[in-house]
Amino acid sequence: MSLGAKVASNLPYLRRYARALTGSQQTGDAFVRATLEAALADASLRSQIGEGRVALYRAFNKVWSSAFVDTVVHSGGDQSGAEGLGLHETAAQERLAQVTPANRQALLLVTLEDFSVAQAAEILDTTPADVEALVQEAVEEIDRESATTVLIIEDEPLISMQLEDLVRSLGHDVCGMAATRTQAREIAMSETPGLVLADIQLADGSSGLDAVDDILKLVDVPVIFITAYPERLLTGDRPEPTYLITKPFQEATVRAAISQALFFGSSSPLA
């Protein structure tokens, strides 16, 4: 397999990580491009990123770490350096400025990206014990966010109940559970959820994406999409969700995504 093919197979997931880390598809993609440009200019780095997913994320981490301070500074106050950023991205960057970047990186790597603690330590150039401490600190910081009400859009009863139990265990309320686009819209009109968990393929053949579009016309709310085929949405051809979870999911991944979405106060849904 060529170097390009090896990198391309991991690129959708690196872009997902970058978006979750920055709270912005635009900013996340900029860091991914910077990583690839650095590899093109450095033969040693170019060879390293072909070694696999850990090496690619390690290269990204070096680029992100070196530029993080500038990113935060330019995102607040004067928006001249943040052309194209909307309210979602600006809010995300302001919140990021209050949290140590290493904590968020560690949390995302071992939950959203499903790396082992040892792999995350290699990516972050630290020890497994440090990664575990960083993850715990991140969870404690995020869990201080206030509770909210959650709308679950899911047509599989067992999965819907699993998500309901998980949401309630985090201290949130479930304001409704919908299996179709129509049900989701009706619940959103009457309950005004503070977070949406949305499947993509619904019971009556309707689309969870359309259901979310309906809801976002009513209320600006964070959205977490859940799908068995994430690669179909991570194409770069259109705006993508910041929070996208693969089925079958790990409960720890959903917990982390919920905490992160509420921490940012918004997300970048498909449009």
Q: What is the pTM of this model?
A: 0.55
User: Residue 176's domain spans which residues?
Assistant: 149-264
Count of domains in the chain? 3
Q: What is the pLDDT of residue 227?
A: 80
Q: Is 72 helix (H, G, I), strand (E, B) or coil?
A: helix
CB 93 within 8 Å of CB 268? no
Q: Do residues 157 and 249 both lie within one domain?
A: yes
Residue 26 CB contacts under 8 Å (≥ 6 apart), including other chains: 84, 85, 89
DSSP assignment of 218-229 equals H----EEEEES-
Residue 270 covered by a domain: no
For residue 237, the number of C-alpha atoms closer than 13 Å in the C-beta half-sphere is 4
* Phi then psi dihedrals of residue 100, to 5 deg: -60, 125
CATH number of the domain bearing residue 201: 3.40.50.2300
Q: Do residues 157 and 240 both lie within one domain?
A: yes
Q: Do residues 178 and 260 both lie within one domain?
A: yes
Rounded Cα distance between 138 and 176, Å, is 29
pLDDT tens digit at each of 271 positions of the chain: 677 888 888 999 999 899 888 877 888 899 999 999 998 898 888 888 888 899 999 999 988 888 754 444 344 433 333 344 444 445 545 555 555 678 888 988 988 888 999 999 999 999 999 999 998 887 777 666 567 999 999 999 999 999 999 999 888 999 999 999 999 999 999 998 999 999 988 888 888 888 999 999 998 888 999 887 676 666 666 556 678 888 888 888 898 888 778 866 654 433 3
Q: What is the pLDDT of residue 112?
A: 80
Q: Do residues 242 and 253 both lie within one domain?
A: yes
Q: Do residues 12 and 88 both lie within one domain?
A: yes
Q: Do residues 183 and 259 both lie within one domain?
A: yes
Q: Do residues 161 and 254 both lie within one domain?
A: yes
Q: What is the pLDDT of residue 204?
A: 84
* Alpha-helix residue ranges (DSSP H) falling in 1-116: 3-22, 25-41, 43-49, 53-75, 87-96, 101-110
Residue at which a domain ends, from 111, 144, 177: 144
Q: Do residues 245 and 157 both lie within one domain?
A: yes
Residue 232 covered by a domain: yes
Q: Is 37 helix (H, G, I), strand (E, B) or coil?
A: helix
Residue 269 covered by a domain: no
Residue at which a domain ends, from 31, 62, 97: 97
Q: What is the pLDDT of residue 259?
A: 79
Q: What is the pLDDT of residue 136?
A: 84
Residue 71 covered by a domain: yes
Residue 271 covered by a domain: no
Parallel, antiparallel, or unpaired: how do β-strands 149-153 and 243-246 relate?
Answer: unpaired
